[in-house]
Amino acid sequence: MSNTFHKEDFFHVVKSYGITLQDTQLQQFAMYAAMLLEWNQKMNLTAITDMDEIYEKHFLDSILPSFDVKLKGTFCDVGAGAGFPSIPLKIVYPDLEITIVETLGKRITFLEALCHQLKLNNVHCVHARAEDYAKEHRESFDIVSARAVANLTMLSELCIPLVKVGGMFLALKGANAQEEYALAEKAIRLLGCEEKRRDEKVLSDGSKRVNFVFEKVKKTPLKYPRAFAQIKKNPL
């Protein structure tokens, strides 16, 4: 299937889910796309450089979960890279309080410049590894999310310790979602979460998206997260 999505469709697709983007928000998305392409020439931010694809595979893809689940409160984006999914969500839902935890310093520099340019308040960009950041900030976010950072088992150990009891872990996954879930199910429970829902969507090129919502029902045992070498070598 060829890519039939055009950036002009973005407004209408979002509207079909009951969200009418204002001119300021559309301008913020346009500035975001322009900055992404400009900075991408100096540093590796994205492999997607076609404008229509940026709108579908980065912007729309990032906000898809919010069409099924209400997002509010404090939102931590683990490994946001060039800002996905948290920055598109922040543009659409300005009340969200975002913390980005990203291990690459250059990407933090980009994100800080981006937030300044787009006049986004309450976005805290932290240069750290999630497993280290959890030492001081465990169980402190209403929502912890990530896209394209690690398989679901490893991702669960990086993200779930940061979620408050009663909060949610939102995992944005692709075609291998079911297989990843089967391998991760035990770890997810051990770390204190239960699956609440999963929502499937298909993009215009036929690629599948599966967004998992896990609810934190009990505290994460204190020994997690382990050091990254352990997480990788002995996945839960």
Return binding residues for S-adenosyl-L-methionine.
79, 84, 130-131, 147
Binding mask 110-129 for ligand SAM (x = CB under 6 A): -------------------x
Considering the rule CB under 6 A, would residue 101 count as an interface residue with ligand SAM? Answer: yes
Among positions 149, 160, 210, 236, the unique one binding ligand SAM when judged by CB under 6 A: 149
| Residue 30 near ligand SAM by CB under 6 A | no
- What 3-state DSSP class applies to 141? strand
Q: How far is the CB of 107 from ligand SAM (least distance, A)?
A: 5
Task: Determine the distance from the C-alpha atom of residue 53 to the mean position of all C-alpha atoms in its chain, rounded to a whole number.
Answer: 17
Grouping H, G, I as helix, E, B as strand and the rest as coil, residue 30 is: helix
Alpha-carbon distance 160 to 192, whole Å? 7
Cis peptide before 221 (omega within 30 of 0): no
Distance of alpha carbon 142 from alpha carbon 122, whole angstroms: 15
Residues between 38 and 97 that touch ligand SAM (CB under 6 A): 78-81, 84
16 vs 201, beta carbon nearer ligand SAM: 201
Min dist CB 45 to ligand SAM, Å, is: 9
Backbone Cα Rg of the chain: 17
Q: How many residues of this chain interact with ligand SAM, rule: CB under 6 A?
A: 18
Tokens 């770390």, located at residue:
191
CA atoms of 56 and 50, how far apart (whole Å): 10
Q: What residues between 152 and 191 interact with ligand SAM by CB under 6 A?
A: 158
To ligand SAM, the closest distance from the beta carbon of 68 in angstroms equals: 19
d(CA 231, CA 223): 12
Interface positions with ligand SAM (CB under 6 A): 78-81, 84, 101-104, 107, 129-131, 147-149, 158, 228
